[in-house]
């Protein structure tokens, strides 16, 4: 074994280096709402260095779903991982700043050596879902996968295989999964995802492309005088030295922009850095926007010239001439709707909105006037507000604020989308080939495709790419992910469906750990983890070639080799590999990437150095819609009108032609839509009076890292509840409670805090579902009680819309 190849055992690991004590100290700093990684540096050393006598340090990355690709230095001694450090190179000036890892990246070895690692290929022996498996050989496992999938393809067709990769923990570029499936005849893919399906849909109908979900970069805040965040908490979601929180912090310090946070929770992003926190009832952001719009219109803050030239549907603006679209009848437009001259006849005044939103009338006026008077307002939304029962409407509504003000396409502004660009400098992807199956099922409706796939059509269920599904789904092929159960909704009902072998006939899972989803596999294969893998990663500030730090543990194998072996059984190995090993593909794809990015070093140089900084100019313009703003006729949008689409004829048509469940609304204009289990659902609220929302914990991106004891210890999984609500229920701090509704019961401690508004409770998502003998989820998975009812337009997950009650155990 070379000195760079290390083969530890879990038993031999110690908590040396970043000790538990210093980890706790660091965590306490975070818990107080402090931003991590605010100290800077620069320039990078060799890929492998001997730092102290006997210690070897290698560069690696954290590949977690926040996409920050933070740099890690893995320190080993005598073949054992001693500790994980992070970027400490260079002068750390912004633009050359260190990409320092957060707590999650720094506890990566704890995830790698977790006792629940999958060690061997396994076959289910007990009833599905009980988690009983027997060890089998790789040959037996892959033969069984081949047999089962061939049988299903023969009997039902490739459309009966549903597959998606869980984005939470991809083990490098995973395009080999769909490449393999496409080569064997295809599969039913998902349309959209669990993260941003509603806002992506809203962006498409408003701006013509889902790419505008992500707006101007946070560096633009350096040129702003007012930052308004709707439900956005990067201090939890993207909290490292390379992430947007750091960019936000530095940029805000430059401009001293006034900051207003609109959120039911007083988040760490606020935490002393905000000028104002407006606590809003979940699901009512769209109504707040309407009241703001009423003030902006009636007090002449709207930019009529911008609306006339760049927008369609505010009043009676014409479309771009080549679009052949008549100007809208003004009575159907947004202005008429807000002023009460539209079909509902209701003026959307602050007085009308305040009792529903929970924000006092005067504060709504003040916010509207602040927006109207701002020179460069930066208005952004996180993805929490759109993950509700009418989330598409909420996202479209928030887009309306910069549109009304004419404040987009200018320095310091944003389009109302999210405040981050992923900062990725893409490495070329392995070609996936063409999927012969043309239909796609909305991501959140994959489980319905199991129970009633043959009934699902474009008009009733939002099937994309084909008029209908031709078969029920009979096989789930899941490489890495916890969406099979944990990240889906109504876990109890979903588990019941998964257990029924007359529905799903075969479940394939390849993963790192025995997750809640992995327990339902028929064949369960052990994947290598990030520290056992090699990969090239490019980020806006650096490009890294990681080598595996430890050899694959137990019988874990690289997924590329596993899919190549499966491809061989299907007779398509040559087409799958094109004669390349995984390392060959990396070098090949990197060379393709260098053609697009000449700033990249050669592959040999990168391999030698491990990581190389890329030029990152913090003063570069990073705001969206510059060209469209300057010359919309030459740079039209890909919308129906070529302009910003406020009124959508397509959506008006959907409203007439789609079959919608009772209570679901699709509207041509962005408008507040009261829904089931919202504050407006007084009937359900009479039984379950509290609105439950989920949020992203500092301890895990989704369910990844949820099994790391260090993180569990420092970041508690507790229900946040306002003292007013706790007093009503006579609950004490830290008391164990049951959160429940008709769908199930979760058991967690309660954290009584004024950081959540009365009437609302909050629980971090991503904890692993773990029902006890009474059926109570003692794992604390919020999806045990979220509702499996898709949204009206995108057919997406509304996991923030829930009504519950809480009682002491």
Distance, in Å, from the CA atom of 750 to the CA atom of 763, rounded to the nearest integer, reads 10
Q: Using CB under 6 A as the criterion, what x/- string covers residues 145-174 for binding ligand SF4?
A: ------------------------------
Where do the DSSP E strands lie in 604-705?
611-613, 644-645, 690-695
Contact 117, 513 (CB under 8 A): yes
CA distance to 23, 207, 272, 514, 698, per residue, from 716 (Å)? 15, 40, 21, 22, 10
- Least separation in angstroms between residue 214's CB and ligand SF4 is 17
- Least separation in angstroms between residue 33's CB and ligand SF4 is 16
Torsion sign across C-alpha atoms 145, 146, 147, 151: positive
Closest CA relative to residue 94, chosen from 246, 239, 215: 246
Q: Does 66 bind ligand SF4 (CB under 6 A)?
A: yes
Residue closer to ligand SF4 (CB basis): 66 or 227: 66
Q: Does 239 bind ligand SF4 (CB under 6 A)?
A: yes
- Least separation in angstroms between residue 68's CB and ligand SF4 is 4
Residue closer to ligand SF4 (CB basis): 101 or 292: 101
Residue closer to ligand SF4 (CB basis): 104 or 387: 104
Q: Does 450 bind ligand SF4 (CB under 6 A)?
A: no
Q: Does 183 bind ligand SF4 (CB under 6 A)?
A: no
Applying CB under 6 A, the span of 41-49, 228-236, 237-245, 781-789 interacting with ligand SF4 comes to 237-245
Distance, in Å, from the CA atom of 540 to the CA atom of 622, rounded to the nearest integer, reads 13
Closest CA relative to residue 721, chosen from 712, 713, 733: 733
Residue closer to ligand SF4 (CB basis): 22 or 326: 22
Residue closer to ligand SF4 (CB basis): 183 or 239: 239
Q: Using CB under 6 A as the criterion, what x/- string covers residues 271-310 for binding ligand SF4?
A: ----------------------------------------
Contact 775, 492 (CB under 8 A): yes
Which position among 189, 416, 701, 758 is part of the footprint of ligand SF4 (CB under 6 A)?
A: 701
Applying CB under 6 A, the span of 193-201, 239-247, 468-476, 655-663 interacting with ligand SF4 comes to 239-247
Residue closer to ligand SF4 (CB basis): 121 or 699: 699
Residue closer to ligand SF4 (CB basis): 236 or 671: 236
Instruction: Tell me the two tokens of residue 175.
Output: 């395009």
Residue closer to ligand SF4 (CB basis): 216 or 240: 240
Residue closer to ligand SF4 (CB basis): 425 or 786: 425
Q: Using CB under 6 A as the criterion, what x/- string covers residues 676-695 for binding ligand SF4?
A: --------------------
Applying CB under 6 A, the span of 63-71, 277-285, 313-321, 748-756 interacting with ligand SF4 comes to 63-71
Residue closer to ligand SF4 (CB basis): 532 or 681: 532
Applying CB under 6 A, the span of 58-66, 171-179, 195-203, 475-483 interacting with ligand SF4 comes to 58-66
- Least separation in angstroms between residue 183's CB and ligand SF4 is 32
* Binding to ligand SF4 in span 747-806, by CB under 6 A: none
Distance, in Å, from the CA atom of 752 to the CA atom of 242, rounded to the nearest integer, reads 33
- Least separation in angstroms between residue 170's CB and ligand SF4 is 12
Phi/psi at 264 (5° precision): -65, -20
Q: Does 671 bind ligand SF4 (CB under 6 A)?
A: no
Strands 55-61 and 48-50, by their bridges, are antiparallel
- Least separation in angstroms between residue 711's CB and ligand SF4 is 10
Applying CB under 6 A, the span of 60-68, 154-162, 522-530, 786-794 interacting with ligand SF4 comes to 60-68
What H or E segment, with its residue span, contains residue 236?
A: helix 234-237
Strands 719-721 and 736-741, by their bridges, are unpaired
Q: Does 101 bind ligand SF4 (CB under 6 A)?
A: yes
Q: Does 233 bind ligand SF4 (CB under 6 A)?
A: no
Residue closer to ligand SF4 (CB basis): 69 or 158: 69
Contact 318, 380 (CB under 8 A): no
Applying CB under 6 A, the span of 18-26, 235-243, 257-265, 394-402 interacting with ligand SF4 comes to 235-243
Residue closer to ligand SF4 (CB basis): 38 or 361: 38
Contact 669, 663 (CB under 8 A): no
Number of residues engaging ligand SF4 in binding (CB under 6 A)? 14
Applying CB under 6 A, the span of 66-74, 361-369, 396-404, 499-507 interacting with ligand SF4 comes to 66-74
Distance, in Å, from the CA atom of 773 to the CA atom of 739, rounded to the nearest integer, reads 17
Q: What DSSP letter does each residue of 727-784 carry, written as one string? A: HHTT--TT-EEEEEETTEEEEEEEEE-TTB-TTEEEEETTPPP-B-TTS-BSS--GGG
- Least separation in angstroms between residue 378's CB and ligand SF4 is 22
3-state secondary structure (DSSP) of residue 459? helix
DSSP character at residue 571:
T
Applying CB under 6 A, the span of 61-69, 209-217, 263-271, 323-331 interacting with ligand SF4 comes to 61-69
Residue closer to ligand SF4 (CB basis): 64 or 510: 64
Question: Which residues lie across from 693 on neighbouring strands?
Answer: 762
Three-state secondary structure readout of 365-405: HHHHHHHHHCCCEEEEECCCCCCCCCHHHHHHHHHHHHHHH
Contact 188, 473 (CB under 8 A): yes
Q: Does 240 bind ligand SF4 (CB under 6 A)?
A: yes
Hunting for tokens 């060379």 — which residue is that? 591
Distance, in Å, from the CA atom of 558 to the CA atom of 572, rounded to the nearest integer, reads 19
Residue closer to ligand SF4 (CB basis): 284 or 480: 480
Across the chain, how many H-helices and E-strands are there? 26, 27
Count the Cβ atoms, other than its own, within 10 Å of residue 381.
29
* Length in residues, the chain: 809
39: exposed, middle or buried (Cβ count in 10 Å: 0-12, 13-18, 19+): exposed
Q: Using CB under 6 A as the criterion, what x/- string covers residues 719-738 for binding ligand SF4?
A: --------------------
Q: Does 70 bind ligand SF4 (CB under 6 A)?
A: yes
- Least separation in angstroms between residue 60's CB and ligand SF4 is 11
Which position among 76, 213, 243, 707 is part of the footprint of ligand SF4 (CB under 6 A)?
A: 243
Distance, in Å, from the CA atom of 202 to the CA atom of 286, rounded to the nearest integer, reads 13
Residue closer to ligand SF4 (CB basis): 249 or 255: 249
Applying CB under 6 A, the span of 98-106, 291-299, 308-316, 622-630 interacting with ligand SF4 comes to 98-106
Residue closer to ligand SF4 (CB basis): 290 or 419: 419
Residue closer to ligand SF4 (CB basis): 56 or 66: 66
Residue closer to ligand SF4 (CB basis): 62 or 476: 62
Q: Does 529 bind ligand SF4 (CB under 6 A)?
A: no
Distance, in Å, from the CA atom of 62 to the CA atom of 294, rounded to the nearest integer, reads 46
Long-range CB pairs of 10-15, under 8 A, 24+ apart, other chains included: 10/113, 10/115, 10/117, 12/80, 13/80, 13/81, 13/109, 13/113, 14/80, 14/82
Sheet holding 276-278, edge to edge: 276-278, 258-262, 226-230, 377-381
Residue nearest to ligand SF4 (CB): 105
Q: Does 102 bind ligand SF4 (CB under 6 A)?
A: yes
DSSP character at residue 468:
B
Rule CB under 6 A: which residues touch ligand SF4?
A: 62, 64, 66, 68-70, 101-102, 104-105, 239-240, 243, 701
């Amino acid at each position: 074994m070379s000195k760079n190849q290390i083969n530890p055992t879990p038993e031999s690991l110690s908590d040396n280096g970043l000790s538990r004590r210093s980890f706790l100290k660091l965590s306490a700093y975070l818990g107080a709402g402090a931003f991590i990684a605010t100290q800077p540096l620069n320039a990078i050393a060799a890929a492998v260095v001997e730092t102290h006598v006997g210690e070897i340090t290698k560069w690696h990355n954290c590949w977690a779903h926040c996409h920050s690709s933070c740099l890690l230095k893995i320190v080993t001694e005598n073949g054992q991982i001693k500790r994980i450090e992070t970027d400490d190179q260079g002068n750390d000036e912004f633009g050359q700043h260190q990409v320092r890892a957060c707590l999650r990246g720094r506890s990566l070895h704890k995830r790698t050596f977790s006792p629940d690692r999958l060690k061997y290929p396994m076959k289910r022996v007990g009833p599905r879902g009980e988690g009983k498996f027997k060890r089998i050989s790789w040959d037996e496992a892959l033969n069984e996968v081949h047999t089962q999938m061939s049988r299903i393809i023969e009997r039902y067709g490739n459309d009966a295989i549903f597959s998606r990769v869980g984005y939470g923990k991809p083990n490098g570029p995973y395009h080999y999964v769909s490449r393999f499936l496409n080569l064997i005849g295809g599969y039913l893919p998902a349309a959209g995802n669990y993260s941003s399906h509603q806002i992506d849909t809203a962006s498409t109908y408003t701006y013509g492309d889902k790419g505008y979900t992500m707006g101007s970069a946070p560096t633009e805040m350096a040129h702003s005088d007012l930052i308004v965040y709707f439900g956005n908490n990067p201090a939890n979601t993207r909290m490292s030295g390379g992430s947007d929180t750091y960019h936000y912090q530095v940029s805000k310090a430059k401009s001293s922009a006034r900051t207003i946070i609109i959120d039911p929770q007083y988040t760490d992003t606020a935490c002393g850095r905000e000028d104002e926190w407006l606590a809003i009832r979940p699901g009512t952001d769209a109504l707040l926007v309407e009241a703001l719009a009423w003030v902006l219109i009636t007090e002449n803050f709207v930019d009529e010239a911008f609306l006339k030239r760049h927008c369609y549907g505010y009043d009676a603006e014409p479309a771009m001439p080549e679009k052949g679209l008549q100007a809208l009848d003004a009575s159907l437009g947004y202005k008429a709707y807000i002023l009460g001259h539209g079909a509902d006849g209701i003026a959307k005044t602050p007085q009308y909105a305040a009792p529903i939103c929970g924000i006092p009338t005067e504060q709504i006026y003040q916010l509207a006037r602040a927006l109207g008077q701002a020179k460069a307002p930066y208005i952004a939304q996180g993805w929490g507000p759109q993950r509700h029962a009418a989330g598409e409407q909420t996202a479209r509504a928030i887009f309306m604020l910069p549109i009304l003000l004419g404040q987009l396409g200018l320095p310091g502004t944003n389009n109302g989308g999210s405040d981050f660009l992923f900062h990725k400098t893409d490495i070329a992807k392995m070609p996936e080939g063409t999927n012969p199956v043309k239909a796609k099922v909305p991501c959140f409706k994959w489980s319905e495709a199991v129970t009633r796939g043959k009934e699902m059509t474009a008009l009733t269920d939002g099937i994309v790419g084909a008029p209908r599904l031709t078969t029920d789904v009979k096989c789930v092929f899941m490489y890495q992910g916890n969406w099979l159960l944990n990240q889906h909704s109504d876990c109890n009902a979903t588990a019941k469906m998964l257990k029924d072998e007359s529905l799903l006939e075969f479940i394939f899972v390849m993963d790192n750990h025995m997750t809640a989803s992995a327990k339902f596999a028929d064949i369960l294969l052990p994947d290598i983890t990030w520290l056992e893998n090699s990969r090239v990663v490019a980020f806006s500030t650096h490009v890294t070639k990681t080598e595996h730090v430890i050899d694959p543990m137990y019988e874990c194998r690289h997924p590329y080799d596993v899919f190549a072996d499966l491809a061989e059984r299907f007779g398509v190995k040559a087409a799958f590999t094109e004669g390349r090993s995984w390392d060959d593909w990396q070098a090949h794809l990197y060379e393709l990437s260098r053609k697009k990015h000449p700033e990249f070093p050669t592959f040999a140089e990168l391999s030698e150095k491990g990581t190389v900084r890329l030029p990152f100019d913090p003063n570069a313009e990073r705001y969206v819609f510059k060209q469209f703003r300057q010359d919309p006729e030459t740079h039209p949008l890909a919308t129906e009108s070529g302009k910003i689409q406020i009124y959508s004829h397509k959506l008006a048509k959907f409203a007439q032609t789609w079959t919608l469940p009772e209570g679901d609304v699709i509207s041509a204009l962005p408008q507040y839509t009261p829904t089931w289990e919202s504050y407006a659902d007084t009937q359900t609220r009479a039984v379950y009076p509290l609105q439950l929302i989920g949020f992203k914990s500092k301890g895990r991106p989704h369910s990844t890292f949820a099994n790391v004891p260090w993180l569990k210890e420092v970041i508690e999984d507790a229900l946040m509840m306002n003292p007013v609500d706790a007093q009503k229920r006579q609950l004490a701090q830290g008391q164990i409670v049951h959160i429940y509704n008709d769908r199930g019961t979760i058991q967690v401690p309660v954290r009584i805090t004024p950081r959540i508004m009365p009437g609302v409770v909050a629980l971090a998502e991503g904890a692993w579902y773990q029902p006890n003998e009474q059926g109570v989820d003692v794992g604390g998975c919020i999806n045990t009680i979220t509702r499996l009812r898709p949204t009206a337009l995108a057919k997406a997950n509304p996991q923030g819309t829930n009504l519950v009650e809480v009682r002491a155990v």
